[in-house]
Amino acid sequence: MNIKKSILIRVRVAFLAIVVFAVCVAAKIGHIQIAEGEKWIRMGNEISFDYKKIKATRGNIYSDNGSLLATSLPFYKVAMDPTLARNEVFNDGIDSLAFLLSRYYKDRSATDYKRMIRDARETSKQYLTLNRKQINYQTKKEMSDWPIFRDGRLRGGVIFEKMDVRYRPFSNLSRRTIGFVNENGKGVGLEYSFEKALGGQDGEALFQKIAGDTWKPVFDANNIKAIDGLDIQTTLDINLQDVAETSLYRAMQQHNADLGTVIVMEVKTGYIKAISNLSSDGHGGYHEEFNHAVGGSIEPGSTFKLVTMMALLEDTNIELSDSINTGHGEYTFYNKKVRDHEEGGYGRITIQDAFERSSNIAMAKLLDKHFGTKPSKFLEHVDELNLSKPLGLQITGEAYPKFSRPKDKNWSGITLPWMAYGYGIEISPLHTLALYNAVANDGKMIKPMFVTSVRQADETITEFDTETLNPKICSKKTLNQLKLLLDGVVDHGTAKNLKNSYYRIAGKTGTAQILKDGHYEKKYITSFVGYFPAHAPKYTAIVLIRNPKGIYQYGNSVAGPVFKEIADNIYSRDLQLHLAMEKKPALEEGVFPTIRAGKQSELTMLCNELGVSNHSSTEEEWIRAVKNGNAVTWRKNAVIKDHVPDVQGMTLRDAIYLLEKTGLRVVHEGKGRVSEQSLSPGVRISKGSRIHIRLSS
C-alpha cells in the first residue's frame, strides 16, 4: 500500500514539473497570457487592464409625505464596437444609423459619422465613443431600435455605459439643506451627512485600456457587484418649504437685503418642516449659497433677552411689575454707551414693559445689578440651555457658539451688560429656535431633527427618535412668566403689527447692528422668533434678514411680516389649529337656563327669581354650578391670594372683577362667557402680570 502511494506521488510531481516547464516556454514565445500586475502580455504586445470602481446607485431622499427631494436617474454614454456586426447587417444599416446619429446629436454630418464608424471597423477598433453627450433612459430605448444597434451588444456592437446623475424634482427648493457630494467625496447637507447610508457600496469590474486612453469594460468572473444605497426620510414638508422660501424671497427683494434665513419647527417633535437660506448674488437675484441656519454664527440681538429674563426670574426676587428707570434712551457702562431704539427713551417703566418694548438699557442694568459680581452664574444658565455648544445635529457643518468667559482676555466690565441684549456673543439661528421652542414645549428643550428614518424600500433600517436636550429649562412659575412676556410683545409691544383676530402669535423681535472689523456699522440683522398658536403651540419659527436697505430697519417691520405670512399659510391649511365651534346644548323640557360660574349671592338671587331649585354646599363667595336633575348645586370656586383664579364659565364682568382684584391685567376677546384663559388656574402670579381670556357664546 505504501509502495503504491509512493509511486503515485512521484508521478504527480513529474507531471507538475512538465506543466510548469511548458507554461514557461509558452509564455516566453507568446502563445498564452500571464497576469503580471495590471498588465497582460500577449504575442509580445502590452495590453493594459485594470479593476475600476462601479458606482452604486445612490439612495433617494424623501420629504415627510414621501415626495422625492433627490434621486439618481440613469444616463448613458453611447459607444460602439464596430467589429462585431456581421457584414450584411453593417452594410444594410450604416447609412440609416449615421443619419439618425447626426439628426440626434447635431454635431456632425451623417457622412462624417459613417466615415468615423467605417474607419474604426476597418482598423479593428473595438471601442468607439460615438458622442460624449449623455442620453436619458427614454432615448436609450429609442436608440436600441436603430439599425445595427437593434442587434444588441454582442451582435450589433452597441455599448450603453450607464452613469447615475443626481436629480432634484423640486429644483433648488431647500437646495443647501439637501446638499451634494462631489467626485472627491466632499460635500454639504444631508447628501454628505448621510453619505454612508445613501452612497451604498461600490462594486469593482475589469476594464481594458484601448486606443485614445479609453477604457472598455470586460466581463470577468471576479467582478464585484455594487450594492445600492439606502433611502432617507426627512422631516421637510415640501408645501411649507415652498411657502417659506417664497415669502423670504419676496421680503429679500422688497428690502434689497444681503441674506435671509427661515426655519419652521414642530414644537413637540423637533421636526424641521421648512428651512431656507438665501444670499444675494449682487445683481438682484437670490440663491442658496450657504446654510446660515446651521453654520451661521450670528449675534442674536434682542431675541437673547429671553435668556436674560429667565436667569433674572429664576435667581432673583424681581417681579414683572417692578419698575426700572431707563432714562432718556442712553446709559453709560464703563465709558461705553448703551442705547434704546425709542427716541428720548422710555423713562420709568415696569420690567414687563421693558421686555415688551425691548429696552436694552433695562436689560443691561438688571443683569449688571444682579449678576455683575457673579457673571459665571449667568453663564451657567447659558450652558444649561445648550447655547454655548453645538446642538449635535444630524446635518454636518454646525457653527460653534462664541461666548466670552470672565477668565478670557477680552472680558471687561461691558461684556455682561452687552450680553444682556444679545451683543458680543454669537450663536446659530437654530440655537435661538431651539430655546424658544422649549418655552412653547412647556420647558422641554429638544434637538431639532432633519431625518426620521433610513429605509430600504418599505423596510425601516434605522429610526430616529426625538432627543431631549434639557427636560426642564426653568421652573413652572418662570415659564409662565416668560410666556406672558412673549404674548405681550405681540399684543402691545414691538411686534403688535403681527396681532390678528384668528389666532395668537407669541415671540420676540430682534435688531442687532452688524459687527465688522471690531466696529458696529449702521447696518442691521433683523429677526423675529416665536410660536403659534400661542394658547396651544404647534409650530415654532425664526426669520432672520441681514442688512435690509430702505426705511424699514427693524425686526417687526422686516422679519416679522415674513413670519406672519408663513404662520397664516399654515393656519389656513392645518385644520387642527382651528378651535372647534362649541356645540350649543340642546334644550331639555323643563330644564333651567345655562348657569356656570359667578358670585353666589347674584346667582342664587337669579335662580330664585326664575324659579329654579338651587342648593349650596359652601359659604364661599365665588361658586361653580353643578346640575343635579332639575336643580342646581353650588360648589366652591376657591380664590387663593397670589394665585390665578378659575374664571372659565364666568361672564366678562365677573371675570374682569375677579382677575383684576388679584392684581392681574386682563386682555379679552370674543363675546359670551369665558372659554379659555392663558394662565392656568392655581398658578402663582406676580402683580402686574397680564392674562388673556377668550369668550364664546
Tens-digit pLDDT profile for residues 97-114: 999 999 999 999 999 999
Answer whether residue 6 shows pLDDT above 60: no
Instruction: Give CA–CA dist 360/326, Å, rounded.
Output: 9
- pLDDT for the residue numbered 19: 40
Residue 507 maps to a domain:
yes
Give the dihedral of Cα atoms 473, 474, 476, 477; nearest 10 deg. -150
Average pLDDT on 494-501 reads 87
Flag the least confident range among 3-12, 72-81, 440-449.
3-12
482 near 351, Cβ under 8 Å?
no
Flag the least confident range among 42-46, 135-139, 562-566, 577-581.
42-46
Instruction: Give CA–CA dist 508/359, Å, rounded.
Output: 12
Residue 41 maps to a domain:
yes
- pLDDT for the residue numbered 607: 78
- 214 φ, ψ (degrees, to nearest 5): -105, 140
Instruction: Give CA–CA dist 214/120, Å, rounded.
Output: 14
- 19 φ, ψ (degrees, to nearest 5): -60, -45
Answer whether residue 209 shows pLDDT above 70: no
Answer whether residue 508 shows pLDDT above 70: yes
Answer whether residue 15 shows pLDDT above 70: no
Q: How far apart are the first and last CA of the chain?
A: 111
Average pLDDT on 652-674 reads 82
- pLDDT for the residue numbered 164: 82
Each residue's pLDDT tens digit, 538-590 = 999 999 999 998 777 788 889 999 999 999 999 888 777 766 544 444 444 44
- H helices of 194-329, in order, are 195-199, 238-255, 292-295, 305-315
Chain centroid to CA 518: how far?
31
- pLDDT for the residue numbered 536: 87
Query: Do 164 and 300 fall into the same domain?
Result: no
Query: Do 414 and 306 fall into the same domain?
Result: yes
Q: What is the domain count for the chain?
A: 4
pLDDT band of 608, cuts 50, 70, 90: confident
In 3D space, the residue among 287, 289, 290, 280 whose CA is nearest the CA of residue 255 turns out to be: 280
94 near 118, Cβ under 8 Å?
yes
Average pLDDT on 7-12 reads 46
CATH of the domain at 176: 3.90.1310.10
Query: Do 61 and 24 fall into the same domain?
Result: no
324 near 318, Cβ under 8 Å?
no
- pLDDT for the residue numbered 514: 79
Name the domain boundary from 168, 202, 234: 234
Helix axes 476-492, 305-315, angle to 10 degrees: 140
- pLDDT for the residue numbered 101: 95
Which domain range does residue 15 map to?
A: 2-48
Residue 631 maps to a domain:
yes
Instruction: Give CA–CA dist 358/108, Å, rounded.
Output: 70
162 near 276, Cβ under 8 Å?
no
* Percentage of the chain exceeding pLDDT 70: 86
254 near 565, Cβ under 8 Å?
no
- pLDDT for the residue numbered 269: 96
Helix-, strand-, coil-residue percentages of the chain, each rounded to 5: 35, 30, 35
- pLDDT for the residue numbered 594: 65
Answer whether residue 41 shows pLDDT above 60: no
Answer whether residue 681 shows pLDDT above 90: no
Query: Do 560 and 614 fall into the same domain?
Result: no
3-state secondary structure of 333: strand
Residue 605 maps to a domain:
yes
Each residue's pLDDT tens digit, 320-379 = 989 999 999 899 988 888 988 888 889 999 999 999 999 999 999 999 999 999 999 999
* DSSP per-residue string spanning 485-535: HHHHHHHHSTTGGG--SSS--EEEEEEEEEEETTEEEEEEEEEEEEEESTT
DSSP at 614: E
Query: Do 143 and 42 fall into the same domain?
Result: no
Instruction: Please report where in the chains the cell 372659565 appears, as a residue.
Output: 648
- The set of residues, in sequence order, having a beta carbon less than 8 Å from that of 485 and lying 6+ positions away, is 306, 309, 320, 352, 355, 356
Residue 292 maps to a domain:
yes
C-alpha cell at 16: 507538475
C-alpha cell at 265: 419647527
Instruction: Please report where in the chains the cell 394662565 appears, as a residue.
Output: 679
Query: Do 212 and 329 fall into the same domain?
Result: no
Average pLDDT on 67-74 reads 89
- pLDDT for the residue numbered 25: 42
How many Å is the maximal CA-CA distance in the chain? 131
Residue 589 maps to a domain:
no
- 278 φ, ψ (degrees, to nearest 5): -115, 135
Query: Do 422 and 528 fall into the same domain?
Result: yes
Instruction: Give CA–CA dist 431/443, Å, rounded.
Output: 15
- pLDDT for the residue numbered 216: 64
pLDDT band of 4, cuts 50, 70, 90: very low
Average pLDDT on 480-494 reads 92
Helix axes 110-122, 87-105, angle to 10 degrees: 140
The number of C-alpha atoms within 13 Å of 484 and in the hemisphere containing its C-beta is 33
- pLDDT for the residue numbered 693: 84
CATH of the domain at 669: 3.30.10.20
Flag the least confident range among 147-161, 368-382, 415-429, 508-522.
508-522
- H helices of 256-295, in order, are 292-295
Helix axes 375-384, 360-371, angle to 10 degrees: 110
Query: Do 17 and 86 fall into the same domain?
Result: no
Name the domain boundary from 234, 266, 300: 234
Helix (H) or strand (E) holding 61: strand 61-62
Instruction: Give CA–CA dist 459/479, Å, rounded.
Output: 41
435 near 307, Cβ under 8 Å?
yes
- pLDDT for the residue numbered 36: 35
Chain centroid to CA 233: how far?
13
List Cα–Cα distances, 537 to 504, 573, 627, in angstroms: 9, 16, 34
Answer whether residue 212 shows pLDDT above 70: no
Flag the least confident range among 249-253, 352-356, 383-387, 648-652.
648-652
Q: Strands 631-636, 613-616: parallel, antiparallel or unpaired by DSSP? A: parallel
Each residue's pLDDT tens digit, 429-457 = 999 999 999 999 999 999 999 999 999 98
Query: Do 113 and 223 fall into the same domain?
Result: yes
217 near 207, Cβ under 8 Å?
yes
- pLDDT for the residue numbered 211: 55
Specify which of 206-215, 553-562, 572-581, 650-659 reaches the highest per-range mean pLDDT. Answer: 553-562
Chain centroid to CA 167: how far?
21
Paired with 691 in beta bridges are: 666
C-alpha cell at 408: 478670557
The number of C-alpha atoms within 13 Å of 206 and in the hemisphere containing its C-beta is 12
203 near 53, Cβ under 8 Å?
yes
pLDDT band of 10, cuts 50, 70, 90: low
Answer whether residue 23 shows pLDDT above 80: no
Burial of 240 (0-12, 13-18, 19+ CB in 10 A): buried
Instruction: Give CA–CA dist 256/284, Å, rounded.
Output: 8
Instruction: Give CA–CA dist 678/692, Å, rounded.
Output: 5
Angle at 226 between CA 221 and CA 229, to 5 degrees: 170
Length of the chain: 697
CATH of the domain at 278: 3.40.710.10
- pLDDT for the residue numbered 392: 95
Average pLDDT on 137-163 reads 91
CB 591: neighbour CB atoms within 10 A?
A: 13
Residue 248 maps to a domain:
no
- pLDDT for the residue numbered 264: 97
What is the average pLDDT value for the chain, to the nearest integer?
84
301 near 308, Cβ under 8 Å?
no
- pLDDT for the residue numbered 579: 60
Name the domain boundary from 167, 200, 234: 234
Query: Do 509 and 543 fall into the same domain?
Result: yes
Query: Do 422 and 533 fall into the same domain?
Result: yes
pTM (2 d.p.): 0.74
Residue 624 maps to a domain:
yes
Query: Do 322 and 466 fall into the same domain?
Result: yes
3-state secondary structure of 546: strand
Q: Strands 286-287, 613-616: parallel, antiparallel or unpaired by DSSP? A: unpaired
